[in-house]
Chain A
Amino acid sequence: MPPRQVYLDNNATTQVAPEVLEAMLPFFKDLYGNPSSMHAFGGQVAQHVQQARERVAALLNAHPDEILFTSCGTESDNHAIKGVLEAHPEKRHLVTTKVEHPAVLNVCRYLAKHHGYRLTELPVDRRGNLDLDQVAAALTPDTALLSVMTANNETGTLFPIEKIGAIAREKGVTFHTDAVQAAGKLPLDMARLPVDLLSISGHKLHAPKGIGVLYIRRGTRIMPFMHGGHQERGRRAGTENVPYIVGLGRACELARVELFEETNRLRQLRDRLEQGLLARIPSTHINGNPDWRLPNTTNLGFEYIEGEAILLHLSAAGIAASSGSACTSGSLEPSHVLMAMEVPFTYAHGSVRFSLSKYNTDQDIDYVLATLPGIVQKLRDMSPFYPKDAPRVVETAS
């Protein structure tokens, strides 16, 4: 057994907060009523669903009736994109970016391939930034939807959605943002942000898997995605997933209360990890925009070596991270995000993402700083590309 377990893959999924689990449990036992029912069993459950809706709305500074519960972030993205296109049958064009999560990118590509939509995928620069002039130029009278993520899941790079949303509004184009990685990590104020639709996934902010939210601004033209009963005011049929809705409500409440303090603490932890690794391991590069990123994410490219080998050695040492390397995913090319950023091959394959959560501590960071340099050196020593006279890693505990 490794001496310590350190989970640094929180952009993949997070631990369910104990407070969240506790809030959910009664709804697996006594509070089993259907919120739609005309009796007290259902009525009191409906009140809890409403309370959860208000808590989610509070995190986003939105109206509770703008919160739609879905089964996951992917459903929210599908609903937003397909629902808007269906509500604008006369428009045949949609715009997104090359670095979106597959839950957006593959939906758009599906619609282009099988339903004849014109699709524009906006490129990014070396740091993962969009060119706002290109965004504006891409929007035409035929454009039904612009979908641009708030924060990139792999690099943490943020897009300026307040500016992008303003461009979309000026052009009369509906604007959706996948905020799955940003929600709970950065303030999202719907009273200020010109965003029409926004997706959230519960399990990225310490609620369980299987629950998501689609924020729909009042007045947005969108068709339902799931047809059936009258749940969610007719916009999303299907009996409400009550325990998970309650859990997500609690998670959003915790995130709102802790947001400011946690964001600062996480940024400091992340920076200590990043600076510590850069100082110890030569020929290491930050992928993404270091000035404008999620506070919990760092994506580092280690030259001369390959990501899967790093991850397996880390895993044996009890450390969980992830990689945009080709070998981990089963595809043969590095991640589409790193490719779109034209990250050089010399370290695209050797890129590792560390993503922190509120459960990470200083000791976790110390352990990684003491462990990873040795792993990198070991792999570099067996790499045919590693120059013999290249500087070696510094192996000292912090």
Chain B
Amino acid sequence: MWDYTNSVLDHFTNPRNVGEIEDANAIGEVGSLACGDALKLFLKIDQQTGRILDAKFKTFGCASAIASASALTEMVKGKTIDEALKISNDDIARFLGGLPEQKMHCSVMGKEALEAAVANYRGEKVAAHEEEPPVCKCFWVSEKKIREVILEHKLTTVEQVTNYTKAGGGCGGCLPDIKRILADIMHTQAPPAERPKMTNLQRIQLISQTIEKDVAPMLRADGGNIELVDIDGTLVKVRLKGACAGCAGAKATLQHLVQETLRQKVSPDLVVVEEN
């Protein structure tokens, strides 16, 4: 059985805002019977203020699809359209105390229904996935959609892509394509943006701050401590104190904890040595 949170089970058993709004002025519909889940979202939006006065839904799907739709309607009520559009599928999952990873596509469906409803309200044509030939022919998922989800959630494996979009969950024929898209994104994605150039003084201050704020508290928790002795170019000289001094694991502490933290926070070329 799935490990659903109490909140998911509550929203599944007692879904909020089930039904249709007779005079809805925004309707969003995503999914299909063939896919195994579908959601139709009805919104009543105040045309003066752009505020969502009421939200209701109808859904065909499993417990997490029902709970995600219920959560979504609770979350958007009272918000303006622009506020509502900021809700991500992760927000929906978080609202429910989390979803099993294989069920994340249920929260994605909520997000998509909201976007479709707003597009409908604004009279825009929905950016239907049908327009370009899909990568996944079973669940009709486009390359654009797959790329968006990979970037948004920093996905790294094909399995994750399937969990979030359902692509590849049917015949599996597109799994090599998903792999290619993933490889392509990882290849072309620029390395992390260059850090702004620091002056020597800024760099020394940042090293000192990082040791004091990030490293020392961890060592103190184990009865030890650390003191910054000197900085010479990329060489950071420190002294371990308390329980850390003379500890057999001191070298590992220096390399893995102190050096790694400094490399992440300040500069990847720093080397940490112990000063006796």
**Which residues from chain A sit less than 8 Å from chain B, CB to CB?**
304-309, 312-313, 315-316, 325-328, 330-334, 345-346, 349, 381-385
Contacts and interface: CB of A to CB of B under 8 A. Distances in A.
A67 B19 CA distance: 59
13 contacts: A306-B61, A306-B65, A312-B9, A315-B1, A325-B36, A327-B65, A330-B102, A332-B166, A333-B169, A349-B33, A349-B36, A382-B58, A383-B58
Contacts of A308: 2, 62-63
Contacts of B33: 345-346, 349, 385
A306 B19 CA distance: 17
A315 B9 CA distance: 12
A291 B169 CA distance: 34
B62 A309 contact: yes
B59 A384 contact: yes
Contacts of A325: 36, 62
Interface of B is mostly: mixed
A333 B102 CA distance: 13
Contacts of B40: 384
Interface string B161-189: 01000100110000000000000000000
B98 interface: no
A157 B161 CA distance: 36
Given A309-B12, A382-B66, 5 more contacts: A306-B36, A312-B12, A312-B63, A333-B169, A345-B34
B38 interface: yes
Interface string B19-47: 10000000001000110111110000000
A7 to B, nearest CB: 15
B158 interface: no
A247 B66 CA distance: 44
A314 B32 CA distance: 25
Interface string B132-174: 0000001100000000000000000000001000100110000
Q: How large is the interface on B (under 10, 10 to 19, 20 to 34, 35 or more residues)?
A: 20 to 34
Interface in B252-276: none
Contacts, number: 76
A121 to B, nearest CB: 14
A259 B15 CA distance: 46
Closest 6 CB pairs of A and B: A332-B169, A327-B62, A308-B62, A384-B40, A384-B58, A345-B34
A90 to B, nearest CB: 33
B13 A309 contact: no
A304 B169 CA distance: 22
Interface in B204-258: none
B87 interface: no
Contacts of B169: 326, 331-333
A304 B60 contact: yes
B36 to A, nearest CB: 5
Interface of B: 1-2, 9, 12-13, 15, 18-19, 29, 33-34, 36-40, 57-63, 65-66, 102-103, 138-139, 162, 166, 169-170
A347 to B, nearest CB: 9
A332 B170 contact: yes
User: Which of A316, A325, A326, A328 is the most central at the interface, judged by chain B CB atoms within 10 Å of its CB?
Assistant: A326
A383 B13 contact: no
Contact of B39 (A307, A315, A384): A384
A31 B222 CA distance: 55
A102 to B, nearest CB: 16
Contacts of B162: 332
Contact of A333 (B2, B60, B170): B170
Contacts of B166: 332
A12 to B, nearest CB: 12
A306 B170 contact: no
Contacts of A331: 169
B38 A384 contact: yes
A101 B166 CA distance: 24
A327 B59 CA distance: 14
A309 B2 CA distance: 12
A327 B60 contact: no
A345 B1 CA distance: 23
A385 B36 contact: no
Contacts of B65: 306, 327
Contacts of B37: 306, 327
Contacts of A345: 33-34, 36
- A328, A330, A382, most chain B CB atoms within 10 A: A382
A309 B139 contact: no
A322 to B, nearest CB: 11
A382 B59 contact: yes
B59 A332 contact: no
A326 B36 contact: yes
Contact of B61 (A313, A327, A333): A327
A172 to B, nearest CB: 35
A382 B62 contact: no
A187 to B, nearest CB: 35
Of B15, B139, B170, the most chain A CB neighbours within 10 A belong to B170
A195 to B, nearest CB: 34
Given A308-B63, A312-B12, A332-B162, A381 B34 contact: no
Nearest to A347: B33
Contacts of B61: 306, 309, 327
Nearest to B58: A384
Nearest to A328: B62
Most buried by B among A307, A312, A384: A384
Contacts of A309: 12, 61-63, 66
